[in-house]
Amino acid sequence: MLDFVYYPVSAVLWLWHTGFAALLGAGSSLAWVLAIVLLVVTVRALLVRPFLAQVRFSRTMAILQPQVRALQAKYADDREKLVAETRKLQQQHNFSLLRGCLPMVGQLLLFLGLYHVLRSFDRTGPVSQVPLLGNSTSMTAAENAATANYVFSPDQVRSFLQAELLDAPLSATLATSGAALTSVLTVVIPLVLVAGVATHLTARSAIARQLETTPQTRIVNWLTLWVFPLGAAVAGILMPVGILVYFATSNTWTYAQQHLIHRRLGPLPTPEPEAPHHETAPD
């Protein structure tokens, strides 16, 4: 359904792996790890402009929130006037919900593409089931290793399924690691910590820029500070090592990018309180 995303993402990964394999060898596990990292860097670099649009959208929305609430209080009994004044305020600040949502949709599509292509390398089982040197241990695993994955040939699929990071198969999860549990755990723990800490720091940085808080935003802040990073621990149990490499790289990029862009844009201006509205007495 999303082949228009999957094929370009797969092609970028193929280009990076082909380049690193030429330097390190076709069977190099490091070539796959570096290709995943550079795939994330490439895609996220292409998304810098949409990310900037999303940042400007968020900053404008934060500035307008007090004014919108003031309008809601002022025109609580006049829905038509409230809509008109809110639209006028948004036009004055060149604020568009559509422009704010499109970058998020684009980032979501590319995230799905990255996840799907990496997950598609191992569609039937852990790397321990993949046949080596033609000795089949599982018919379904053999069929998987002999199946192309988008622009990747069957040989390249087998290469990925046999690739390891510090003796942990890139296609293995904690649940499917078997005898390699110790090796997988040794790699998964640092990757999960990097992903979780980067997520927490990104949330903390965003909260520090908030102009004001409400009961609703305090709940969201708590979720982003603690619950979302804990999701990285769940991912560590369920996700293959190769995808955890992606998560750790992507979350670190998000934090660094957010920090640099907001430092360049400077702090949000403090909204000025509206002057009290005085009704003119009739002559």
Encoded amino acid at 49, one letter: R
Contacts of 28-31 spanning 24+ positions with Cβ under 8 A: 28/163, 29/162, 29/163, 29/164, 29/165, 29/170, 31/163
**What pLDDT score does 54 carry?**
73
Q: Are 35 and 13 in contact (CB under 8 A)?
A: yes
In tens, the pLDDT along 147-196 reads 677 888 888 888 888 898 988 888 888 877 777 888 888 999 999 999 98
User: Is the per-residue pLDDT at 242 higher than 60?
Assistant: yes
Concatenating the DSSP letter of every residue in 175-233 gives: TT-GGGHHHHHHHHHHHHHHHHHHHHHHHHHHHHT-S---HHHHHHHHIIIIIHHHHHH
pLDDT band at 97 (very low <50, low <70, confident <90, very high): low
Task: Output phi, psi for 124, to 5 deg.
Answer: -125, -20
User: Is the per-residue pLDDT at 277 higher than 50?
Assistant: no
Q: What is the C-alpha separation between 19 and 27, in angstroms, rounded? A: 13
CA 81-100-264 angle, to 5 degrees, is 115
The SS3 assignment for 28 reads coil
Greatest mean pLDDT among 20-29, 69-78, 269-278 lies in 20-29
CA-based max dimension of the chain? 100
**What pLDDT score does 172 carry?**
83
Q: What is the C-alpha separation between 173 and 67, in angstroms, rounded? A: 49
Average model confidence (pLDDT) for the chain? 77
> CA quadruple 57, 9, 123, 34: dihedral positive or negative?
negative
Give the residue ranges of DSSP H helices in the chain. 3-24, 29-46, 48-74, 79-92, 97-120, 139-145, 154-162, 181-208, 215-222, 228-238, 241-265
**What pLDDT score does 23 carry?**
92
More confident residue, 111 or 250: 250
The residues pairing with 164 across neighbouring beta strands, listed in sequence order, are 169
User: Is the per-residue pLDDT at 218 higher than 60?
Assistant: yes
Percent of the chain with pLDDT over 90: 14
Residue from 147, 245, 252, 239 nearest 196 by CA:
252
* Cα-only R_g, the chain: 24
Claim: this prediction has a pTM higher than 0.85: no
Q: What is the C-alpha separation between 118 and 36, in angstroms, rounded? A: 9
